[in-house]
């Protein structure tokens, strides 16, 4: 019966007949069997259908992380509908845009916000669910019994995830059943996940990393999951001795490194630490190995493509690179519509079953970024070495063009990061009357005093003049979003008037 619904078929297959249990903590303290999780998902599906959800309809959810929210995701797909998770941090105005754009049949929100969001819900049936799994949707689900899966084709949509929208309007990336299950199957095998694994899940579930990479891979392996409501160093360190894997963003690793309890003994049962969604500093990679004996496995992907490349499980995990294209995924680096020479920097393009179906109701945007022959233009600047390892150099739009010369922020950042007393840095371009743009470096010290002059002097004989920052600002921390990405747009705004 499950064959008819490809994603659910694959996600359930490994959990059937297994005693695999989801260990939950936080608001969901206790254990839940996979059989119960899927039974809950069926009740969700039945509830959604009772509220008029038809195949292809969108179900939007702006809810806190909980197992019930996972049931809502699975139930939506079971009902043949399209899951649309929204970051709980989005304001009412932002939510209004997503609801207006995606016109969901059902919109599930936090009970605390239901009165305010009623005005933006439009035609959608408004239901509630809080972080403890309570609300009108849970009440309705409690009255349901079983559900016959709605049949879908592999090319039918299972989810729409809005991109973070660093330039212009946020775009809804349409992901098919096949996009999701093919990528998760590849990752499960590539990273050797089995039912013996216990995965620490501390990522948000409104983003591709926590919802698809972590959740789908664990389900496909029939692995156990320590399901945490969010990042919590205390809970992660407590879970480590009885867990085998952690998936995190770089900030997870830097924060855990700050805790003296992180030792090789504590991590002795762990077999795999995975990082992605933002660049992992080489320094973090090295410090982690020193402190735990483990080399972090870094991978690369984006909302539109799921995961595209990964460092190997058995082979060389090279710090500062995002590894090789995953099996079935092709990657190339292009400049002016031509493939560059090996090792040269250009825009990374990827192709494979992982690549999305286009942007929701934005055919022009889709045509700009997804070529007719299936290559997706990622917008990331990258280079590929002779062994096929990909290095991400930054976003194309973060490239600084000063006096007609290209400056790749990563090149300058790497040199600054290597200086003693520097924790990390961000290099941006800001408007400059003479040069068009000027290179500006924001430097975060490790705690010791470090002056702009010292950084400037250290760089003077290492970089061509045009690459040297025209201004260096020492700050306490870089602005980051929940996924650990440095918000360069915010920095550009802060320093926009510097040279005017
Ligand atoms: P998102 O769609 O929110 O997942 O963001 C995707 C973007 O995050 C990519 O286009 C990259 O710019 C960045 N990204 C993801 N993983 C990595 C990584 N391992 N190293 C560097 N950048 C990354």
Q: How far is the CA of 1 from the centre of ligand 1 (A)?
A: 37
Protein residue closest via CA to atom 5 of ligand 1: 302
* Any atom of ligand 1 within 6 Å of the Cβ of 309: no
Protein residue closest via CA to atom 23 of ligand 1: 278
Measured between alpha carbons, how far is 177 from 79 in angstroms, rounded to an integer? Answer: 13
Q: How far is the CA of 242 from the centre of ligand 1 (A)?
A: 30
Q: Where are the beta strands (DSSP E) in 311-435?
A: 324-325, 330-335, 338-339, 346-351, 376-384, 390-395, 400-402, 405-407, 422-432
Contact predicate 145/44, CB 8 Å: no
Instruction: Say what the pLDDT of residue 28 is.
Output: 58
* Closest ligand 1 atom to Cα of 299: 19
Contact predicate 110/63, CB 8 Å: yes
Tens place of pLDDT per residue across the chain (500 aa): 557 999 999 999 888 877 667 766 666 567 888 999 999 999 999 999 999 999 999 999 999 999 999 999 999 999 999 999 999 989 898 899 999 999 999 999 999 999 999 999 999 999 999 999 999 999 999 999 999 999 999 999 999 999 875 556 789 999 999 999 999 999 999 999 999 999 999 999 999 999 999 999 999 999 999 999 999 999 999 999 999 999 999 989 999 999 999 999 999 999 999 999 989 989 899 999 999 999 999 999 999 999 999 999 999 999 999 999 999 999 999 999 999 999 999 999 999 999 999 999 999 999 999 999 999 999 999 999 999 999 999 888 898 988 888 899 998 999 999 999 999 999 999 999 888 899 999 999 998 788 999 999 999 988 888 899 999 999 999 999 888 899 999 999 999 999 98
* Any atom of ligand 1 within 6 Å of the Cβ of 402: no
Protein residue closest via CA to atom 7 of ligand 1: 302
Instruction: Say what the pLDDT of residue 198 is.
Output: 94
β-bridge partners, 471: 440
* Closest ligand 1 atom to Cα of 164: 3
DSSP 397: G
Q: How many CB atoms lie within 10 A of CB 241?
A: 12
Contact predicate 353/387, CB 8 Å: no
């Amino acid at each position: 019966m499950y064959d008819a619904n490809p994603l659910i078929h694959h996600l359930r297959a490994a959990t059937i007949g297994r005693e695999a249990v989801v260990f939950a903590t936080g608001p969901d303290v206790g254990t839940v069997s996979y059989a119960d999780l899927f039974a809950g998902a069926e009740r969700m599906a039945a509830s959604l259908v009772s509220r008029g959800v038809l195949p292809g309809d969108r179900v939007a959810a702006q809810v806190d992380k909980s197992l019930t929210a996972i049931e809502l995701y699975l139930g939506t797909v079971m009902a043949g509908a399209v899951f649309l998770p929204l970051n709980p941090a989005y304001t009412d105005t932002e939510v209004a845009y997503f609801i207006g754009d995606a016109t969901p049949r059902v919109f599930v929100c936090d009970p605390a916000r239901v009165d305010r969001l009623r005005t933006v819900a439009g035609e959608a049936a408004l239901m509630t669910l809080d972080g403890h799994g309570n609300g009108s949707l849970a009440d309705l689900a409690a009255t349901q019994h079983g559900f016959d899966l709605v049949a879908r084709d592999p090319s039918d949509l299972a989810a729409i995830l809005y991109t973070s929208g660093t330039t212009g309007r946020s775009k809804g990336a349409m992901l098919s059943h096949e996009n999701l299950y093919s990528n998760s199957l590849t990752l499960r095998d590539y990273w050797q996940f089995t039912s013996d694994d216990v995965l620490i899940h501390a990522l948000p579930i409104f983003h591709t990393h926590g919802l698809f990479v972590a959740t789908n891979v664990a389900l496909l392996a029939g692995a156990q999951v320590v399901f945490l409501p969010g990042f919590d160093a205390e809970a992660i360190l407590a879970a480590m001795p009885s867990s085998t894997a952690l998936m995190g963003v770089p900030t997870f690793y830097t924060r855990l490194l700050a805790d003296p309890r992180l030792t090789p003994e504590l991590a002795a049962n762990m077999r795999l630490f995975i990082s992605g969604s933002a660049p992992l500093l080489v320094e973090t990679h090295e410090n982690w190995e020193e402190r735990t004996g483990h080399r972090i496995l870094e991978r690369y992907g984006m909302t539109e493509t799921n995961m595209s490349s990964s460092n190997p499980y058995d082979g060389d995990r090279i710090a500062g690179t995002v590894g090789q294209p995953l099996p079935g995924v092709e990657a190339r680096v292009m400049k002016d519509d031509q493939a560059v020479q090996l090792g040269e920097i250009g825009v990374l393009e990827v192709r494979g079953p992982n690549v999305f179906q286009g942007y929701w109701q934005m055919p022009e945007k889709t045509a700009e970024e997804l070529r007719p022959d299936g290559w997706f233009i990622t917008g990331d600047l990258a280079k590929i070495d002779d062994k096929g390892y990909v290095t991400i150099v930054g976003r194309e739009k973060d490239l600084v063009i000063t006096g007609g010369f290209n400056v790749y922020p990563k090149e300058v950042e790497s040199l600054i990061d290597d200086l003693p007393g520097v924790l990390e840095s961000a290099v941006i371009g800001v408007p400059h009357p003479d040069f068009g743009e000027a290179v500006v470096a924001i430097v975060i010290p490790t705690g010791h005093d470090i002056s702009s002059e010292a950084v400037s002097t250290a760089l003077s004989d290492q970089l061509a003049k045009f690459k040297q920052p025209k201004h260096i600002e020492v700050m306490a921390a870089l602005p980051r979003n929940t996924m650990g990405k440095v918000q360069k747009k915010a920095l550009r705004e802060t320093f926009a008037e510097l040279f005017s």
